[in-house]
Structure 1
Amino acid sequence: MTAAPVQTDDPLGEALHHLRVTGAFYCRSELTAPWGLSMPNWPDSMWFHIVTSGRLELVVDGTERVMQAGDLALVPHGNGHVLRSEPGVLTPDVVTLEHEFHNRYAILRHGGGGAVTTLICGAVRLDHPVAHQIVPLLPGIICVEPGGGPQAEWMQSTLRLIAAEAAAVRPGGEAVLTRLSDILVIQTLRGWIEHDPAAQRGWLGALRDPQIGRAISLIHREPARDWTVAALANELAMSRSAFAARFTELVREPAMHYVTRWRMQVARHWLAEGDATVSEVAGRLGYQSEAAFSRAFKRVTGVSPGTLTRR
């Protein structure tokens, strides 16, 4: 079961605290020109690519970017994309190529024998309900390049450590690479949230509002509480009408719609963990009957809760 929420006076920081990476697949690639790879479309995952030596071209949704050693790219929505040494090369599906497997970690050697490019790649998931709020807001690609500032230097130091680990086979190297990669994914997301103008609006912007941010935190902390617009407004010492209007303006949906949607996201997370029945989840979220909970769940998610427990 999910741990109790951390309570702070920083609603945005409180939300980001819960971001956790679940690795689906990690790969160290040793590629020699000419080479090309097609990454499959994995909608529930995020692809990341860290260039540890050499250069490559990344093509996402028709947009081409050149990456060099020390660069990181995150494809947050799991869209299919292409990595290649140059235009015009064949780009076979990466999953059809022969890999050397080590549990969830693999080594790929591919290409025509020319100039060498090495990569650390992976597909990861963010498995907390907060991720369902953040991921839809992210752009199609996020790139991190060498630059100034404390955060950039910290990330480049981590990238250099990853490059050093990838260059030599050492005891525990796989664990180091996967854990450092997870940290970089989270830091990349945090950097985007802190600095990109698009992150100052909508749900992320609402978290920065002193009153509405606190309301969102209360809903997150106590999803089973019998929330009403009046009860939330009272917690913030606001009038019911002023709170309702401001919440809808900033979050872009009515407060009670948000309460229900958040409950269903929490329910989906609990059911996916597999340690609670539908009836238990319904009770934990304050529903008087399993039937009422199931109706709400299907209305919000489009599937019945029993579907998740069978999975």
Structure 2
Amino acid sequence: MNATANWTPVDPLGEALHFLRLSGTFYTRSEFSAPWGLALPPLADCLMFHVVNAGRAWLDVDGHERVLLRPGDLALVPHGLGHTLASEPDGAADALFDLPREAVSERYDILRHGGGGAPTHMVCGAVRFDHPAARQLVALLPKAIVIEAAHTLHDDWIGHTLRLMAAEARELRPGGETIITRLSDILVIQAIRAWIERDPAARTGWLGALKDRQIGRALTLIHRDPAHAWTLASLASQVAMSRSAFAARFAELVGVPAMQYVARWRMQLAATTLKESGAALADVAARLGYQSEAAFSRAFKRCVGVSPGAVRRGTVP
């Protein structure tokens, strides 16, 4: 990539959302009958979502945020916090992994639970995000995001996605699991985008910086081409700012100096690559623009606190 290409329109926030590719997905089609209650344990590094197809469910996240979900509503629990779903706000909840489930595939099962009363049908999922940009975005989200069906009437994408997921979950025809996975990509991105559009908290920090015309472009350049030999002067030049003005605005909006962000971004990418593929250190170093494995290892340990070899071997979280 030519990092010094002419100015072209970019959508930094859109590119960050592009990195929200789900992995490690697991889905459950839940068929409840009142009275019922389900306690979901904390799942580290996971985002969990719940879609109500019929009936209703009370969601209580970490004992602090309680909301009634109705048909068509979507709830995200972004940080893997323990939470409960129940037919009544103070109803008893049985531990998820103590209940029998019908395994449809390695990543999909059916749960039937309750006392035989009024039915509630849901699709629930647990997903992971591996790309550093996705993790950085998800880390900024609140404990829970609820998108009510009544608030999505102006945007048929969410409603259509929910209906397609519900249909596939009911029938699970050949290829249904793959379709649900792809629809979940869309669903989660749409929900996060809706939160970004309506919540004042999304206008500050890293998300706010992405929306800034010049700092957002600088972040995009760093994200697109981490191996480039970025300097404060070169980044400032790319976004038509003076070096001092760029340095001050970047630090104010992003929260860290520009060159510290560049180094941190490279090491986040390196850690993800080492964990996922176990790639040779020399290959990772070259991919990120380091002239030697030794220089890369020193930079990695200085930023992350452990050696890249330890991350590759899986001896550290």
Match of 1:170 in 2: 173
Give the distance between the partners of 1:305 and 1:96, measured in 2 at CA. 39
Q: Deviations over 1:99-133 (max 9, x none)?
A: 11112111111112221111100111122221122
Amino acid at match of 1:26: Y
Amino acid at match of 1:72: L
In the alignment, does 2:113 pair up with 1:96?
no
Contact 1:84–1:91 (8 Å) recurs in 2 = yes
Moved over 6 A (4+): none
Structure 1 residues 32 and 77: alpha-carbon distance in aligned structure 2, compared to 1, 3 A threshold: same
CA-atom RMSD in angstroms: 2.0
Q: 1:250 aligns with which of 249, 253, 256?
A: 253
- Give the secondary structure class of the aligned counterpart of 2:143: coil
In the alignment, does 2:218 pair up with 1:215?
yes
Q: 1:160 aligns with which of 130, 154, 163?
A: 163
Match of 1:73 in 2: 75
In the alignment, does 2:294 pair up with 1:288?
no
Give the distance between the partners of 2:169 and 2:20, measured in 1 at CA. 26
Q: 1:186 aligns with which of 175, 186, 189?
A: 189
Contact 1:132–1:265 (8 Å) recurs in 2 = no
Structure 1 residues 25 and 252: alpha-carbon distance in aligned structure 2, compared to 1, 3 A threshold: same
In the alignment, does 2:144 pair up with 1:141?
yes
Contact 1:55–1:68 (8 Å) recurs in 2 = yes
Give the distance between the partners of 2:61 and 2:202, measured in 1 at CA. 21
Q: 2:308 aligns with which of 281, 286, 305?
A: 305
Give the distance between the partners of 2:304 and 2:154, measured in 1 at CA. 37
Give the distance between the partners of 1:121 and 1:213, measured in 2 at CA. 34
**By how many angstroms is 1:273 displaced?**
2.6
**By how many angstroms is 1:215 displaced?**
1.1
Report sequence identity in percent.
Answer: 60
Contact 1:56–1:68 (8 Å) recurs in 2 = yes
Amino acid at match of 1:46: L
Structure 1 residues 151 and 226: alpha-carbon distance in aligned structure 2, compared to 1, 3 A threshold: farther
Amino acid at match of 2:161: T
Match of 1:131 in 2: 134
Amino acid at match of 2:100: E
Give the distance between the partners of 1:85 and 1:295, measured in 2 at CA. 54
Amino acid at match of 1:219: I
- Give the secondary structure class of the aligned counterpart of 2:149: coil
Give the distance between the partners of 1:93 and 1:141, measured in 2 at CA. 20
Structure 1 residues 268 and 67: alpha-carbon distance in aligned structure 2, compared to 1, 3 A threshold: same
Match of 1:234 in 2: 237
Structure 1 residues 81 and 220: alpha-carbon distance in aligned structure 2, compared to 1, 3 A threshold: same
In the alignment, does 2:56 pair up with 1:55?
yes
- Give the secondary structure class of the aligned counterpart of 2:150: coil
The within-5 A match list for 1:7-26 is 8-26=9-27
Contact 1:41–1:78 (8 Å) recurs in 2 = yes
Contact 1:28–1:108 (8 Å) recurs in 2 = yes
**By how many angstroms is 1:95 displaced?**
2.1
TM-score (norm 1): 0.91
TM-score (norm 2): 0.89
Amino acid at match of 1:213: G
Segments of 5+ residues of structure 2 without an aligned counterpart are: 1-7
- Give the secondary structure class of the aligned counterpart of 2:94: coil
